[in-house]
Structure 1
């Protein structure tokens, strides 16, 4: 997206090759979801291009793995002894001063890491009558929003985050994931 006040560097690691069997174009799907999310976040945070420095880069690491690896991460980092669909590990906040600092240092702004669990995601998609692609896209959007600083611990935060997810997914032609489907 050329209208962003930064470039996006995605470091995509596929630690479980079965991901590519389930989502053939996982790299392009990921890139599209991240770009759409950061486009909305940029507007939400009123981020503007820097006038006295080159466009900084925002870097996100995405790991596509299995339930076993996510189970270990979830246990070690969140004290939850089970796998989950997505984990986000934020690093630097996405704001104007961080972008300026990254540009000045000629280093990318490390937004953080997102780790996806294949078996859990596929099971949830099946249970919820959603396509794997749509559910994956929703969880990528969800993860990027966490990296950008959004959360859902309080009711008002959860509502804001859900509304952003719905809006971003609409731009990607994906139905509201919170509506019940038969």
Structure 2
């Protein structure tokens, strides 16, 4: 069995610095600690896909459609809002670093930006909670940070199946059909 890994998540919440109120979800608050727990579960599940380290770092920004549209336009040349953007810090095609000094420095995986506006709309369309949609989008972003991509339907399907597995570690069941 692989050892348990630690993940430090730095959350910037555009709407409220301390936590996100997820309405219609039994008054659940998603705090920085919740996000860290989620990412820790996922990174531990994905150990074989990630360069070895004992501590990982991820940036998470929760924002609105206006800001994510600006970023989408600037970095992807698509002048429209999107649900999630991921900016990976690791080079996908480079060999893994074999020795990382994580006693002093965590391995930075990158940043995930999620539009709460779009997440709310998609949660309603998919008939599930905002919490579920946020877990779905952040798991998608994490997979992008570690090198997953979906240039075609087959790879998108594999990625979505992996996301379903990640959400199950949180006790969230989702149907992708």
TM-score category (smaller protein): 0.7 to 0.9
SS, match of residue 97 in structure 1: coil
Provide the C-alpha distance between the structure 1 equivalents of 2:102 and 2:109, rounded to a whole number of angstroms.
17
Asked if 1:26 is matched to 2:25, the reply is no
CA contact (8 A) 2:42 2:169 kept: no
1:16 shift after superposition? 2.0
Relative distance call for 1:29 and 1:137 in structure 2 (3 A) is farther
Relative distance call for 1:70 and 1:47 in structure 2 (3 A) is closer
Provide the C-alpha distance between the structure 1 equivalents of 2:175 and 2:137, rounded to a whole number of angstroms.
10
- Greater share of residues in helix: 1
TM-score of the two chains, using structure 2 as the length reference? 0.82
TM-score of the two chains, using structure 1 as the length reference? 0.80
Asked if 1:16 is matched to 2:21, the reply is no
Aligned ranges for residues 1-182 of structure 1 at < 5 Å? Answer: 3-4=3-4, 6-17=5-16, 20-22=20-22, 24-43=29-48, 45=49, 56-93=54-91, 97-98=96-97, 100-103=98-101, 106-179=104-177
Provide the C-alpha distance between the structure 2 equivalents of 1:46 and 1:92, rounded to a whole number of angstroms.
10
Q: Which runs of 5+ in 1 are unaligned?
A: 49-54
Q: Which runs of 5+ in 2 are unaligned?
A: 23-27
Provide the C-alpha distance between the structure 2 equivalents of 1:75 and 1:155, rounded to a whole number of angstroms.
24
Give the CA RMSD over aligned residues.
2.7
1:81 shift after superposition? 0.8
Count residues with an aligned counterpart: 169
1:105 shift after superposition? 9.0
CA contact (8 A) 2:57 2:110 kept: yes
